[in-house]
Amino acid sequence: MKRTVLLYLMIAGLIVSSCKSPGNKENEELVSLEGRTMGTELNVQYIDSLKRDFSKEVDSVLIEVNNSMSTYIPNSLISIFNKMDTAGTLEVDRHFYQVLLIAKEIHRESHGAFNPALYPLIHYWGFSGGTAPDEIDSSKVDSLLKICNFDLIHGTMAISGEGDTSYYVTKDDGRAQLDFGAIAKGYGVDAVHDLLRSRGIASLMVDIGGEVRCSGVYTDGKAWRIGIEDPIKSTVNSKKAMQVIALENKAIATSGNYRNFRIINGQKMVHTINPASGYPELNSLLSVSIVTEDCTHADAYATSCMVLGLEGARELISKNPDIEGMLIYGIEEGELEYWSSPGFKEITLKD
């Protein structure tokens, strides 16, 4: 889904605009970069008295991440890995390895609900570049499900005598394939965030398609304010915020099923696949927003919760002291209810 989270304090610009001056001295130091990446919108804002233009560096780090993990790029590392049709090992980069490690951690914590080895099924259902079938073939779903086993894929790291680090990913079965669609956007946000921090920027906000990470504070000295989209009232062209939160040195990611789906035989098939059944998971949850330290984790937890459903998601969020969340769910046709964890309530600005 695109732009699940709205920027409450959005300042429109060009690909790189030396910021518009809203007539306020503090805002004169705000730089805004806009563009597209990972099939969605990119928006970066930062405060820099020198108003430096980091657009080229932002671009190149995102190109690196895409060349590593985009299944839409035929010669990306993930595509090469997916095309290996026998068991074997591929040398990958640091981005791939880090995402694989975090994916393993969240796969365990979500009891398998988060499973990036679902690529064959995700493709079957018409997502990540696949074409949806006209008719559902349940024996095909069952046979694909058997190879969507994340335990068949392992990451390793080696340090040479000179201190150089190499990263590898291995598949035990040639049919095992990866899809980082539920985690790579969050990682892209973290990569841009870390780049800007390393350039001495203390206050910044990075948003890729609604996955957001903030550091420091906005020009008014207050936390960055982020709006969470209302899944019913919002449209692609007219966003309505359901809640606004104050985000300080944290990330937020939102997953939802209300925009990205296919219709097969009159049935709504959403882009969240349940690894237990192999089928798209449609439950009462319309959207899940997760707040945590970094956006890679937030992104993957949000998808995990969509798979787990209302009760499972509430349990996952409540058990882990490092994550806070808000769940929006439908009770009756057109009627919404929401649940927020106590820490999420603390940062919510308006109901």
Using CB under 6 A as the criterion, which residues of the chain lie in contact with ligand ADP when the complex forms? 1, 114-116, 118, 122, 127-128, 179, 181-182, 185, 255, 260, 271-273, 275, 299, 302-303, 306-307
Q: Give the nearer residue to ligand ADP in terms of CB position, either 78 or 204.
A: 78
Q: Which of residues 111-130 bind Mg ion (CB under 5 A)?
A: none
Tokens 């895409």 label which residue?
66
Q: Which does 307 bind (CB under 5 to 8 A by kind): ligand ADP, Mg ion, none?
A: ligand ADP
Tokens 């040195």 label which residue?
249
Tell me how crowded residue 323 is: count the other CB atoms within 10 A of its CB.
22
* Least gap, CB of 231 to ligand ADP (angstroms): 12
* Least gap, CB of 255 to ligand ADP (angstroms): 3
Instruction: Give the one residue of 109, 190, 299, 324 binding Mg ion; rule: CB under 5 A.
Output: 299
Please return the burial class of 67, using the count of CB atoms within 10 Å of its CB with bins 0-12, 13-18 and 19+.
middle
Per-residue b or e along 169-181, where b marks 16 or more CB atoms closer than 10 Å to that residue's CB: bbbeeebbbbbbb
Q: Give the nearer residue to ligand ADP in terms of CB position, either 30 or 184.
A: 184
Check if the beta carbon of residue 71 is closer than 8 Å to that of residue 119: yes
* Least gap, CB of 255 to Mg ion (angstroms): 5
> What single-letter DSSP state applies at residue 108?
H
Q: Give the nearer residue to Mg ion in terms of CB position, either 47 or 300.
A: 300
Question: Closest residue to ligand ADP, Cβ-based?
Answer: 181
**Span from 105-113, 250-258, 261-269, 280-288 in contact with Mg ion (CB under 5 A):** 250-258
Q: At what angle do helices 55-69 and 94-109 cross, to 10 degrees?
A: 60
CA distance 132 to 112: 24
